[in-house]
C-alpha cells in the first residue's frame, strides 16, 4: 500500500472565470496521454466541447458549473485532477472539492491579474494550509509586467511567491519561458496546440547560445530579471511549500500548450502524496489498513441516457475493493459496490481497487448524502465539508401538478448534489431554494426540465440572510422558534434556520435572544 500512496497526486485546479482553468486541465491530460487532441473554447461557445465540461448547460454557455474528476498516469505517478467551476455562483461546489484534495494549482490571467474570486478561493485553501502552485496564463496576449503580477499576488493574496520559470517578452513579443532551476529554455511556437515543443538546455544563463536563440536584447533582459529574482525572492524550499508558506509560480499559455510541461514536471515532484483527514473521532492516516472515505459530491444524470446518480468518494485510508461490503456510517448498514468507477470526465471505467488519494464514483440509488462516510466497520465522521449560508432565495413552485413526483425527485436529487440548498418553511410548508448566485436558478430550472421532465417557476423572496440556529438552552431555542415562527424554516437535515428579512431584524433577534447562536456556516 505504501508505494501506491506515495505515487499519488490529488489536486484541484481553481481560478476566476475565464482564466483558462479548463484549458489547462486539458493540456495536462494531453501530456498524460489521456486525450489525443484538445477541445477549444471560443467566444464563450464551445465548438468542440472541452473534455471536462460535459453537462448540456455547460456546453451551451461555455462555462464549467460542476466539478469534473479526471485521472491519468504520468512519469510513474497517478495524477487525479479535480477541475472546479470557476463561476462564482458555483463557489460552494469548489469549496467542498477543496476538502477532497491535497494541493491546488491556481490559474491567474496575466491580463487581469488577481480577481475577487481568486481571493475567496485562496482563503479556503488557507483554512486548511493547502499547498498552492500558481500558473500565470495567457502570456501570448498583451498583459501585465511579470514582476507587477508577482507583487500583486503577494499583496492581494498575502502569500510569498517564488518564480520557477520566467517569461521572455509578452504578447506579440513573447519568445518563451526560461526554467530557472533546470537552466532550460522553451521557445514559443504559436501553432503547437496539440503537441509538445522540445526545450533547449544550457549549462549557464550567460551561454552565448541563448543570444542566438532569442536575440541579444531579450537575452540581456532575461539575465537581469533572473539576477533580480535570485536576490529579491526566497529560495524555493519544499517544506515551506507543503506547509502553504511559499507559492511556486509558473508562466505560460495553456491554449498554446506552452509552459505546461514545466508546471507538470515540477508538480509531480514536489506536490504532497495523499494526506490524512481529521474526523470527530481523531486523525485518520492514509497508511491505516482499514478502508475509510467520504462523499464530497453527488451528481445525478452524469449520463442522461441512463439516468444514473453517482456519489464521488475520496479515499482517506486503506484499500477499496470492488464487491466488498463497507459500512455506511450514517445509515448504519453494509453496502457493496459491483461497478465502482474511475473517471476521465464523462468516460467511466469500472475498477477493481483504489487507494488513498483516489476519487472514485459509486452508483447511488439514493443512499448517500454529501459528507457521508464509508468504512470497514469503524465509526468515523470526517470534518471540514462546509455548507455556507445562501446569498439569494426563491420560492419554487411546481407548474405541472401531473408531474409532482418528478418535480419532488428532481428537487431532492439536485439539492443532494449541493447545486443549491432546499428549505421548508415551518408555517406553510412552502419550498425555498437558496443559492450563492443567480445562475444556479437557471441550472436548476434547465435540469428539472431536461433531466426530470418537470417544470418549475421561481418567485423572488427578499431575504437578508439565512442563519442556522443552535442554543445550549433548549427552552430558549424553543421560545425563539415559537416567537419567530413565520421566519423559521428547516433544511434537509431538519436543522432549524432563521430567515432574516433584513440586517435590522437579525440584529434585533440577537439582542433579544442572547442564548441563541446564529451561524452562517454549517457542516454536512
Helix (H) or strand (E) holding 87: none
Sign of the C-alpha dihedral computed for residues 66, 415, 115 and 153 taken in this order: negative
Predicted confidence at residue 89, as pLDDT, reads 46
Bigger pLDDT: 498 vs 33: 498
- Is the pLDDT confidence value at 7 over 60? yes
- Is the pLDDT confidence value at 85 over 70? no
Q: What is the pLDDT of residues 13-29, one digit of tens each?
A: 888 777 887 888 888 88
- Provide the pLDDT confidence category of residue 246 given band limits of 50, 70 and 90: very high
Which cell is 328 given? Answer: 455506511
Sign of the C-alpha dihedral computed for residues 352, 355, 359 and 363 taken in this order: positive
- Provide the pLDDT confidence category of residue 41 given band limits of 50, 70 and 90: very low
- Provide the pLDDT confidence category of residue 348 given band limits of 50, 70 and 90: low
- Is the pLDDT confidence value at 239 over 90? yes
Q: What is the pLDDT of residues 289-337, one digit of tens each?
A: 999 999 988 876 555 555 567 888 999 999 999 999 999 999 999 999 9
Q: Which of 306, 171, 329, 322 is nearest to 251 (CA)?
A: 171
- Provide the pLDDT confidence category of residue 470 given band limits of 50, 70 and 90: very high
Question: In the block, which residue shows the cell 498554446?
Answer: 256
Q: Rounded to whole angstroms, what are the CA distances from 477 to 148, 258, 465, 487, 495? A: 53, 58, 19, 14, 12
pTM: 0.79
Q: Rounded to whole angstroms, what are the CA distances from 9 to 20, 97, 131, 355, 417? A: 21, 15, 12, 11, 25
Bigger pLDDT: 81 vs 299: 81
Bigger pLDDT: 279 vs 17: 279
Q: What is the pLDDT of residues 451-460, one digit of tens each?
A: 889 999 999 8
Tell me how long the chain is.
524
Predicted confidence at residue 303, as pLDDT, reads 54
| Contact status, residue 166 vs residue 226, Cβ threshold 8 Å | yes
Q: Go through the domains of the chain in sequence order and give each one's CATH number.
A: 2-270 (3.40.50.300), 277-375 (3.40.50.300), 389-523 (3.30.70.3280)
Predicted confidence at residue 394, as pLDDT, reads 95
The whole-number average pLDDT for the span 188-208 is 68
- Provide the pLDDT confidence category of residue 51 given band limits of 50, 70 and 90: very low
Predicted confidence at residue 198, as pLDDT, reads 63
Asked which of 32-46, 248-262, 415-429, 490-504 is least confident by mean pLDDT, the reply is: 32-46
The whole-number average pLDDT for the span 342-357 is 77
What percent of the chain lies above the pLDDT cut of 70? 86
| Angstrom distance (rounded) from CA 431 to CA 415 | 12
User: CA 473 from chain center: how many Å?
Assistant: 38
Predicted confidence at residue 50, as pLDDT, reads 47
Amino acid at each position: 500500500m505504501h508505494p501506491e500512496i506515495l505515487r499519488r497526486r490529488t489536486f484541484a485546479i481553481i481560478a476566476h472565470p475565464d482564466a483558462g482553468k479548463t484549458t489547462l486541465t486539458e493540456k495536462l491530460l494531453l501530456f498524460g496521454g489521456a486525450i489525443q487532441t484538445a477541445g477549444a473554447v471560443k467566444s464563450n461557445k464551445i465548438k468542440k466541447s472541452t473534455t471536462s465540461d460535459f453537462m448540456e448547460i455547460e456546453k451551451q454557455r461555455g462555462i464549467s458549473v460542476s466539478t469534473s474528476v479526471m485521472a491519468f498516469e504520468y512519469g510513474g505517478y497517478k495524477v487525479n485532477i479535480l477541475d472546479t467551476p470557476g463561476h462564482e455562483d458555483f463557489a460552494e461546489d469548489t469549496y467542498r472539492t477543496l476538502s477532497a484534495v491535497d494541493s491546488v494549482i491556481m490559474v491567474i490571467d496575466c491580463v487581469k491579474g488577481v480577481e475577487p474570486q481568486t481571493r475567496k478561493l485562496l482563503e479556503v485553501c488557507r483554512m486548511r494550509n493547502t499547498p498552492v502552485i500558481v500558473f500565470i496564463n495567457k502570456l501570448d496576449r498583451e498583459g501585465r509586467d511579470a514582476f507587477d503580477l508577482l507583487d500583486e499576488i503577494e499583496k492581494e493574496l498575502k502569500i510569498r511567491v517564488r518564480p520557477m520559470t520566467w517569461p521572455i517578452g509578452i504578447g506579440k513579443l513573447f519568445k518563451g519561458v526560461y526554467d530557472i532551476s533546470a537552466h532550460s529554455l522553451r521557445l514559443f511556437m504559436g501553432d503547437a496546440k496539440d503537441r509538445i515543443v522540445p526545450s533547449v538546455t544550457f549549462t549557464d544563463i550567460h551561454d552565448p547560445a541563448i543570444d542566438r536563440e532569442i536575440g541579444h536584447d531579450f537575452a540581456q533582459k532575461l539575465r537581469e530579471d533572473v539576477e533580480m529574482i535570485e536576490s529579491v525572492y526566497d529560495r524555493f524550499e519544499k517544506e515551506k511549500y507543503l506547509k502553504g508558506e511559499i507559492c511556486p509560480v509558473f508562466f505560460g499559455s495553456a491554449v498554446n500548450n506552452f509552459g505546461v510541461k514545466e508546471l507538470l514536471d515540477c508538480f509531480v515532484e514536489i506536490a504532497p502524496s495523499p494526506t490524512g483527514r481529521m474526523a470527530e473521532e481523531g486523525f485518520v492516516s492514509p497508511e491505516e489498513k482499514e478502508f475509510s472515505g467520504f462523499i464530497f459530491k453527488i451528481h445525478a444524470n452524469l449520463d442522461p441516457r441512463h439516468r444514473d446518480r453517482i456519489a464521488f468518494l475520496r479515499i482517506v485510508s486503506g484499500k477499496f475493493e470492488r464487491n466488498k461490503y463497507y459500512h455506511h456510517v450514517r445509515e448504519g448498514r453494509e453496502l457493496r459496490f459491483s461497478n465502482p468507477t474511475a473517471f476521465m470526465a464523462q468516460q467511466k471505467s469500472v475498477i477493481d481497487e483504489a487507494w488513498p488519494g483516489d476519487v472514485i464514483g459509486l452508483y447511488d440509488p439514493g443512499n448517500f448524502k454529501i459528507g457521508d462516510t464509508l468504512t470497514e466497520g469503524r465509526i468515523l465522521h470526517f470534518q471540514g465539508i462546509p455548507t455556507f449560508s445562501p446569498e439569494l432565495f426563491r420560492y419554487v413552485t411546481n407548474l405541472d401538478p401531473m408531474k409532482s413526483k418528478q418535480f419532488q425527485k428532481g428537487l431532492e436529487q439536485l439539492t443532494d448534489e449541493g447545486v443549491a440548498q432546499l428549505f421548508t418553511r415551518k408555517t406553510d410548508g412552502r419550498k425555498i431554494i437558496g443559492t450563492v448566485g443567480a445562475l444556479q436558478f437557471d441550472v436548476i430550472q434547465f435540469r428539472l426540465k431536461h433531466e426530470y421532465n418537470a417544470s418549475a417557476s421561481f418567485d423572488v423572496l427578499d431575504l437578508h440572510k439565512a442563519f442556522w440556529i443552535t442554543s445550549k438552552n433548549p427552552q430558549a431555542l424553543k421560545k425563539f422558534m415559537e416567537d419567530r415562527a413565520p421566519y423559521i424554516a428547516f433544511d434537509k437535515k431538519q436543522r432549524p434556520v432563521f430567515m432574516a428579512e433584513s440586517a435590522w431584524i437579525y440584529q434585533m433577534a440577537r439582542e433579544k435572544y442572547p442564548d441563541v447562536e446564529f451561524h452562517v456556516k454549517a457542516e454536512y
